[in-house]
A and B are shown apart, each in its own frame.
Chain A
């Protein structure tokens, strides 16, 4: 019985692990992640930093603009976390004439801040 269960749970774990790598990993599973996400939210809403609300509706943010699309269902729109980070880093790669700020190249957000913002946006 013990051996049997063990075998099943190994198979399940591998499957879970594979699934996690693809999607669920950045979900807040521990306190450190929660803190990062809270910090990322602060940076995203801060007018002197991300100020994403200037152009995007974001859950929990007041008086959003509507120049860009609402930031919802991000995991469906960006199955690949790296692509989301790239969009926030420099939106010109997808749309050379975009109004969205090139946050990375223009150093509006540092590498660390960009990571935190991306982490938060990915939870939306």
Chain B
């Protein structure tokens, strides 16, 4: 007992300073090394390829499909929508003046004035409503096409999500982090259970992707989404909802504060990795 107590004290002594230091930067370092230690053979830049970064067997086939990717027509549809004039004569280019250089890498942003996380989808719809147009739906369809075009224009840019020194920004980050690690649903699983502790393992026939690099490829074309009716395209929040449902948890609404906070944490963890959206996934 005494021995255990001594061991516990030592553990606490080691653990305490780590907790005190937990900052987004130190979280990111730890997050990164967790995956690079787990997959020493995967170059860190390759995690943007999701499950294919850790599943040699399906990678070749996926690369073959990527040569004539099914999302290509949605990039052009997105481009058309992007260039179409609004009733007031303006267009999306008014709201995204830097779209040629790429804008995806800076999302989500934190707006200190409103105290809110701002996602790319949020800014797409804000552009519409600010200009007197009707907003798109949040999870699929036109919002995913315009998102796909903007991601495509940003390919190769490195994710650079900023967390300003601001209490509300830290609060959003911490809420997202909590969502990521918290067990939920009747099946009692966290995002981390599947994508932090068990990537590369099989859950039934599906191989789990590492959380590192997950957001870089969105929006995605998923064969499964195409199979259930619809065109296959979907946003990151559509995917969050699907993963919540798998564990029999009630999903949050796309673009709810909860998912925006989750996206903030989740994307920040991939800072420095290249945008490669839109992507093709099973």
Contacts and interface: CB of A to CB of B under 8 A. Distances in A.
Contacts of B206: 65
Interface stretch (B29-37, B63-71, B195-203, B221-229): B195-203
Contacts of B205: 63, 65
Nearest to B206: A65
Contacts of A99: 189, 193-194, 197-198
Contacts, number: 36
A19 interface: no
A119 to B, nearest CB: 23
A27 interface: no
B187 A101 contact: yes
Interface string A53-91: 111000000011111000000000000000000000000
B188 interface: yes
Contacts of A51: 204
Interface in B145-189: 186-189
Contacts of A64: 202, 204
A66 B199 CA distance: 11
Contacts of B193: 99
A63 B188 contact: no
Nearest to B193: A99
Nearest to B190: A99
Contact of B188 (A53, A66, A67, A102): A102
Contacts of A67: 198, 201-203
Interface of B (DSSP majority class)? loop
Interface of A (DSSP majority class)? loop
A108 B204 contact: no
A106 B205 CA distance: 25
B186 A106 contact: yes
Contacts of A55: 203
Contact of A65 (B186, B187, B197, B201): B201
B203 A65 contact: yes
B198 A54 contact: no
Contacts of A101: 187-189
Contacts of A102: 188
Contacts of B186: 106-108
A54 B204 contact: yes
B188 A65 contact: no
Contacts of A53: 204
Contacts of B204: 51, 53-54, 63-65
B248 to A, nearest CB: 8
Nearest to A107: B186
A55 B208 CA distance: 12
Interface of A: 51, 53-55, 63-67, 99, 101-102, 106-108
13 contacts: A51-B204, A54-B204, A65-B201, A66-B202, A67-B198, A67-B201, A67-B202, A99-B193, A99-B197, A101-B188, A107-B186, A108-B186, A108-B187
Give me the 5 closest cross-chain CB pairs, A-B, nearest first. Answer: A63-B205, A99-B193, A65-B202, A65-B203, A54-B204
